[in-house]
Structure formats: structure tokens, C-alpha cells
Amino acid sequence: MSLVRILSRLLVFREPEEPRYAFTAGREDRPRERGPGADAAGDKTNKLREGRRVDNLLEQDRPLSTSLDENERLLREIFRLPENKDLVLRPFAVGTEPPRRALLVFMDGPTDKTVQNLAILQPLMLLAGLRLERDLEGEGPVPGTGDETARKELLRRLRETLLPGNEVTMTDTFRDMASEVLAGNTVLFVDGLDSALSVETKGWATRGVGTPQVEAVIRGPHEAFTEQVRINVTLVRKILRRSSLVTDFVKVGQMSAYQCAVLYLDDIANPDLVAEVRRRLESIQADYVNESGLLEQFIEDSTTGLAPQVLATERPDRVAAGLVEGRVVILLDGNPWALIVPTTFFSMMHAAEDAYARWPFGSFARLVRYVGLALALLLPGSYIALVTYHQEFIPTDLLLAFTGAREQVPFPSVVEVLLMEIAFELIREAGIRIPGTVGTTLGIVGALILGQAAVAANIVSPILIVIVALTALGSFAIPNYPFSLSVRTLRFAYIALASFLGLFGIMVGLFVHLALLARLTSFGVPYFAPVAPVTLGAPDHLWRSPVWEQERRPDYVDPLRRRRQPRVSRGWVRAKKKDDERPGGR
């Protein structure tokens, strides 16, 4: 009977039920007063209306009131008191004669209580009478709050003589006040004043500067970014001690605004590039952007690109190198990765350690990476094409070895390749998700046991284990993780093309792939620059040139200063030649 009832409900036509909410165009949805859920619907609508009213209050830049009671009432409405237990309202009296009512507003947790007690409460409650009631350099006693001039004078004296905090700013609207409180600062309200004072009391729990986890090097700095944007800016400034290094802050996100720092060298970076970066950041209309990967997707030129168009790095030294070349760096608060724009295909294949090794060894390391890129992208597809369609390309002895190894395998080559590739991707993903050394052990043991068991069971041939291992090593040789993800995904497209069209399909896919990459741009810069189109600049893209020959900055970023060092940067060579040219010189 239950099966019949289910079928009747699915197949028999029924009149649609009347909706709970009656919709009127241009007005809010109103719940109908019917049924037992009417009270709950009414509470929900009231909450929605209250939230919209508060949002309008913040969006309209409502100014602060001179009445402390009115400001406190609106504060309770904005921060949802008494339901919200994080916000603290601390009423007290400023120690003047007569005392003045005041109110401290701060978040419990992100605020440093020690700084708050010593830099705000103690001076205002204990020292205000000593400092304000006496004449300050002939300025007269503390003024009242009867007119605008008197209010400004009182606010100035509070700010300049009684608040020893290192950063004290004035806020005039509820929106600025809410931003300061949510940032971990303490806001001071005084009765009779239509402005509030924000004192820096941030005390967030932070992680210390550690070592790079993804871009580790043997020779070079071992410092990595943290989750605090101010610490990250400090790490960059420790390397680039230059007055032209500009840090501009842009808030990203509507519901939870995150501080986004834009760094550039004002005397090198192209102003149009800086303006474009700032324009894209300010135009983001999203509720929540808390990670650099999300921010990258909002600002990249092509959302359907086959490769990342923004270079992500966790190393301050690489950020400094990008700034010196005329690029722009984006740091997001709460994220230990920096975004460097614009970027190119060759930047994705560069590693931080290339610059710290002598140029022959740096060039050899890059050659190995390009070989790894070719293996990770084309090796499985090429194996399928040769075994299935182009056996005449394989030497006879090697072909006999392939045939003998695959004699007991019941599947075609494309099926066994897909089985092993998917199995390896599962092992890699599982190794990432399992924390600690267990993940590494799982990857090694899982790959060995799975490969050996598959060969012993005649599911795959032994040669395929070698192919899959070389493919994995090639993908690990790619230094940029987002670019490695792109290569790993496109590898399956080349496997499909090889299974249908052989080497011809691989060539067609490679041609289309290169054409699509050539169409990509990163903030207007061609993805294959400076090779396609050919431009001038430092010979540091395909191979690593000697550092004394890198005289010019990359011209595809159009920097204000083209040359970064003179034609003869090794001055001791010139001095040595002059000494040798002197009479009697050795």
C-alpha cells in the first residue's frame, strides 16, 4: 500500500497549495495570518525588517548624535544587543569638574585589555581633572559643550592630552564607528560631542612568522607570510626599505569587509596598472571574500581560462622582486598568500631559488621543469596513441616488450591508463586531506601496494606503472600549484583525444591549447609575453640569464623606469681593465 500511495502522489495531479506569503510587487513579503506557523513567520519578517533598517542606517552614513543616550540606543540596535554577547559597552565618567558621562565601545576578544586600561580608562578617569582643568600653555580652562567651537576644542584636548595611544582617529558616522569596532579598536563617546574617538587597541591572536610550506628553498630566505596583513607588509618593507613603496588599503566584501593592501613602487610601477588594480578591487560586489583564491577569481581577466592569470606566492622575497620589476602586489588580511599582477606563463614556471643559484644551474633547473610539464601533460596520451594507432613508431624490441607485458591484460590501453590515473589522483587527494606524516605515508605505501597489486592481478601492465610514475613526477616538478592543477585536469583531455585520433588528436589539441593560452591576458599583458608578442626586457623567461645581464625591466608591464642597472654593473671589472691598460700594469 505504501508503494501505491507514493506512486499516486507522484502521478495524480493535485491543485497547488496556497502559498504562505502573499507577494506584492515593490513591497516586502507579508506573511498570511493563518495556520500555527504565523507567529514564527511574523518574527522572521520582523527580524528581516530590523536588519534592513540597520543596513540602511549604516549605508546612509548617519552622523553621530550629541546625546550619549541616543548613540547608545542606536549602538544596541546596530550590534544586536543584548543577544550579542561579544560587544561591550563600558559607561564611566571623565574625571573633570563636573564629571562628564562617557561610553567605551569595543569587542571582547580582539581588543587588548592592557592597552585599553592604561591608554584610555586610566588617563580619562584619574588624570582628566589634572590635565584639563588647568591652563594648557595659556589656552584657558576646559571649555563646555554649548557650541560647535567649544565641542571641537574639548575633542582636541581629549585627543592630544589625555589619550596616549599611538593611533587616535576621529569618527563622525555610525558606519565608520562600526568599522573601527569590528577591526578591534576601542571607540570613545562623550556626552555632548557629536564625534567619537577611535583608539587603536587591536590584540588579535596571531601566528608567528614561519617557513614557507609550498615554496621551500635550500638557499635563500626562510620567511613566509602570515595571516596578518600588517605583518606581511612589514616583511616586504624589511626587504624593500624605500620611501617610494606605497601601501594602499581597499576594503573587499560587503557583509564582512576585509582589508586588502595594494603595494607598488610609485617611481617604477605604471600608474594605469595601479589604477586598474584598484578599480577591480573596489568594484567587487560580494558578501564574503576571505581568501586570496576567491579574490583571484574576482579580478582575473578570463574566468574560463585554462591557466591562472595571477601569481600567488607565500614568499616576501619574491614579492619584493616583483615590485622592483614594476608589478603590483595584493595582500589580503587573514591570508598568508600574496597575489602578483600581471603575470605570464613563464612566471608560473619560475621558482624562487632560480635567482639564488648561478645562471647555468638555474637554467638547467628550468629546463627540467619544462620537461616535467611536457611529461605531465602529454605522456599518458602519447603512450595510448603509440600503442593503439602508431606501433610503427616504436622500435621492434621495445614493441615486443610492450606486447609481452600487455599479453595478460584484459583491458585496452586507454582503460588501464584511466584506471591508474584516477587511482593516483585519489591517492594524492587522500594524502592531502589526511594531516601530518600519515598523509605522506599513505601516498607512498598506497601507490606501491596499489601498483604492485594491479600488476600482479594482470589489471595493468608494468610499463604503465612507469608511465604513471613519470607523469606524477612531472606534475610535481611544476612550481606553481594552481598551474599544476590546470595541467592535471587537461591531461585527461589529451588522453581522450589520443584514444580517438592518436597523435593527430594530440597535435590538434596542443594547437588549440596554445591558441587559447595565447589569447589569455593578465591585466592586459599577453600570457606568452615576452615571446609572443616579442618584446624587449630582461632575458629571464625561458632560461636564467646572468644577473649582470638583466639590465632592463620587463617592458610588457610598461614601467616608468626601464633600466634597473647600468650596462656594466660589475664595476670592479671596469676598474680592473683600466688598471691593466696602464703602463706597467699586469
Q: What is the pLDDT of residue 318?
A: 93
How does strand 258-265 pair with strand 245-252? antiparallel
Query: Which residue type sits at 440?
Result: T
Same domain, 294 and 407: no
Tell me the sheet residues that pair with 313: 338
Of 519, 551, 574, the residue at which a domain comes to its end is 519
Is 39 a member of any domain?
no
Same domain, 313 and 453: no
Q: What is the pLDDT of residue 136?
A: 42
- Biggest CA–CA distance in the chain, Å, is 115
Backbone angles phi, psi at 446, to 5 degrees: -60, -45
Give the N- to C-terminal CA distance of the chain in Å, as an integer. Answer: 110
Q: Taking residues 551-568, what's their average pLDDT? A: 86
109: left (phi over 0), alpha (psi -120 to 50) or beta: left
Question: Given a cut of 90, is residue 31 above it in pLDDT?
Answer: no
Q: For the stretch 180-218, what's the b/e string if a residue is b when 16 or more beta carbons lie within 10 angstroms of its beta carbon?
A: bbebbbbbbbbbebbbbbbbbbbeeeeeebeebeebebe
Q: Report yes or no: 131 and 158 within 8 Å, Cβ to Cβ.
A: no
Is 535 a member of any domain?
no
Grid cell, residue 568, equals 656594466
138: left (phi over 0), alpha (psi -120 to 50) or beta: left
Grid cell, residue 406, equals 600487455
Q: Give the distance from CA 224 to its chain's centroid.
A: 14
Q: Which of 52-66, 100-114, 183-197, 365-379 has the lowest mean pLDDT?
A: 52-66
Same domain, 156 and 284: no
How does strand 30-31 pair with strand 100-107? unpaired
| Comparison of pLDDT for 50 and 278, the residue scoring more | 278
Q: What is the pLDDT of residue 538?
A: 67
**Domain span at residue 448?**
358-519
**Cβ–Cβ contacts within 10 Å for residue 173, how many?**
17
**Per-residue confidence band for 215, with pLDDT thresholds at 50, 70 and 90:** confident
Same domain, 442 and 505: yes
CA 472 – CA 448 distance, rounded (Å): 13
Same domain, 293 and 431: no
Q: What is the pLDDT of residue 83?
A: 84
Question: Given a cut of 70, is residue 102 above it in pLDDT?
Answer: yes
The total of structural domains in the chain comes to 3
Is 555 a member of any domain?
no
Q: What is the pLDDT of residue 24?
A: 40
Backbone angles phi, psi at 560, to 5 degrees: -70, -30
pTM: 0.80
Query: Which residue type sits at 314?
Result: E
Contacts of 31 (CB under 8 A, 6+ apart): 20, 21, 38, 41, 42, 44, 45
Query: Residues 489-512: pLDDT tens digits?
Result: 999 999 999 999 999 999 999 999
| Comparison of pLDDT for 97 and 313, the residue scoring more | 313
Write a three-state SS string for 235-299.
Answer: HHHHHCCCCCEEEEEEEECCCECEEEEEEEECCCCCHHHHHHHHHHHHCCCCCECCCHHHHHHHH
Q: Report yes or no: 285 and 270 within 8 Å, Cβ to Cβ.
A: no
Same domain, 362 and 494: yes
Is 419 a member of any domain?
yes
Same domain, 64 and 114: yes
Question: Given a cut of 50, is residue 21 above it in pLDDT?
Answer: no
Query: What is the SS3 assignment for 391?
Result: helix
Dihedral sign computed on CA atoms, order 364, 366, 367, 368: positive
Q: Report yes or no: 381 and 497 within 8 Å, Cβ to Cβ.
A: yes
Q: Report yes or no: 377 and 494 within 8 Å, Cβ to Cβ.
A: yes
**Cβ–Cβ contacts within 10 Å for residue 175, how many?**
16
CA 6 – CA 333 distance, rounded (Å): 53
**Whats the size of the chain, residue-wise?**
586
Picking from 192, 194, 195, the residue whose alpha carbon sits closest to that of residue 170 is 195
Query: Residues 401-459: pLDDT tens digits?
Result: 878 877 888 888 888 889 888 888 888 887 777 766 666 666 666 777 777 788 778 88
CA 167 – CA 335 distance, rounded (Å): 24
Is 63 a member of any domain?
yes
Grid cell, residue 315, equals 614568499
Same domain, 117 and 250: no
CA 415 – CA 495 distance, rounded (Å): 10
CA 358 – CA 367 distance, rounded (Å): 14
CA 280 – CA 289 distance, rounded (Å): 14
Is 560 a member of any domain?
no
Is 214 a member of any domain?
no
Run of H or E including 182? helix 174-182
For 540-558, give the DSSP string: -SSS---GGG--B--GGG-
Query: Residues 175-189: pLDDT tens digits?
Result: 888 888 888 889 999
275: left (phi over 0), alpha (psi -120 to 50) or beta: alpha
Of 343, 367, 401, the residue at which a domain comes to its end is 343
Q: How many CA atoms lie within 13 A of 506 on its CB side?
A: 20
Question: Given a cut of 60, is residue 235 above it in pLDDT?
Answer: yes
Tell me the sheet residues that pair with 197: 170, 188
**Per-residue confidence band for 221, with pLDDT thresholds at 50, 70 and 90:** confident
Q: What is the mean pLDDT of the chain?
A: 81
Grid cell, residue 53, equals 533598517
Query: Which of 50-59, 88-97, 377-386 tops mean pLDDT?
Result: 377-386
Contacts of 117 (CB under 8 A, 6+ apart): none
CA 234 – CA 229 distance, rounded (Å): 9
Same domain, 324 and 277: yes
Same domain, 242 and 179: no
Tell me the sheet residues that pair with 250: 260
Q: Report yes or no: 501 and 509 within 8 Å, Cβ to Cβ.
A: no
Q: For the stretch 512-539, what's the b/e string if a residue is b when 16 or more beta carbons lie within 10 angstroms of its beta carbon?
A: ebeeebeebbbbebbbbbbeeeeeebbe
Same domain, 263 and 158: no
Is 437 a member of any domain?
yes
Same domain, 151 and 268: no
Angle at 33 (CA atoms; ends 30, 37), nearest 5 degrees: 95
Of 458, 488, 519, the residue at which a domain comes to its end is 519
Contacts of 511 (CB under 8 A, 6+ apart): none
Q: Report yes or no: 576 and 566 within 8 Å, Cβ to Cβ.
A: no
Q: What is the pLDDT of residue 404?
A: 81
Grid cell, residue 487, equals 595541467
